[in-house]
Chain A
Amino acid sequence: AQKVTQAQTEISVVEKEDVTLDCVYETRDTTYYLFWYKQPPSGELVFLIRRNSFDEQNEISGRYSWNFQKSTSSFNFTITASQVVDSAVYFCALSEARDDYKLSFGAGTTVTVRA
């Protein structure tokens, strides 16, 4: 069964628009971590954020913000005032204590920001 669901396959926006990427996860563990990674066209994965299951505080880092809601098992990611350089594939991932903290990736969302 898919542990991480990213329902949006592709999102296309015009520069300066906000874009929100959805991530829904499934786990029976009480201790787990959630991540977002960016994969630009070059292919190299860039770590964006880690959030543990005990910390539901939302986070903002520059134009990026994350909304973690355990009640809905969601960990959504918003890019504010998008730029062309934000064009990439974004992966949400889950690691669980019961699985030795191996990463399970979602299918990814391709974001295209047009000038």
Chain B
Amino acid sequence: GAVVSQHPSWVICKSGTSVKIECRSLDFQATTMFWYRQFPKQSLMLMATSNEGSKATYEQGVEKDKFLINHASLTLSTLTVTSAHPEDSSFYICGLAGDYNEQFFGPGTRLTVL
């Protein structure tokens, strides 16, 4: 399967700051990437679908001005959490779609907002 990396693996920030999370596909050209959020002991919730060279598609209830997604190349998508607040603390996971509709996931980024 595809190898996906995320950076940073964890981040602690103060309330009101912005945090950028990178998702890289190391061996696969990903036209579509996905961003998920996972709260403790809960399932993954899709936040948005990131398409290379075009605007991301956000799921209902996800603020696109707060969670900025950029998919500038076939190997990189970024998620920026703007003006982060403690309720944004979560585990953020990116995934990319493989050739057979499976998704391969990055190792995740744990965000803690103080």
Contacts and interface: CB of A to CB of B under 8 A. Distances in A.
Interface of A: 33, 35, 37, 42-45, 47, 50, 52, 91, 95, 100-108
B105 interface: yes
19 contacts: A33-B101, A33-B102, A42-B107, A43-B110, A44-B107, A45-B44, A47-B104, A50-B100, A50-B101, A91-B44, A100-B49, A101-B101, A102-B46, A103-B34, A103-B95, A105-B43, A105-B44, A107-B43, A108-B43
B101 A45 contact: no
B1 A103 contact: no
A35 B93 CA distance: 17
B103 interface: yes
B91 interface: yes
A48 to B, nearest CB: 10
Nearest to A4: B43
Contacts of B105: 37, 44-45, 47
A53 B18 CA distance: 42
**Chain B: interface size category:** 20 to 34
Given A102-B49, A103-B34, A105-B44, A43 B102 contact: no
A103 B108 contact: no
Contact of B91 (A43, A100, A108): A43
A6 to B, nearest CB: 9
Contacts of B44: 45, 91, 103, 105
B51 to A, nearest CB: 11
B92 to A, nearest CB: 11
B97 interface: yes
B46 A103 contact: yes
A44 B4 CA distance: 10
Nearest to B45: A105
Contacts of B95: 45, 103
A35 B102 contact: yes
Interface string B32-46: 001000000011101
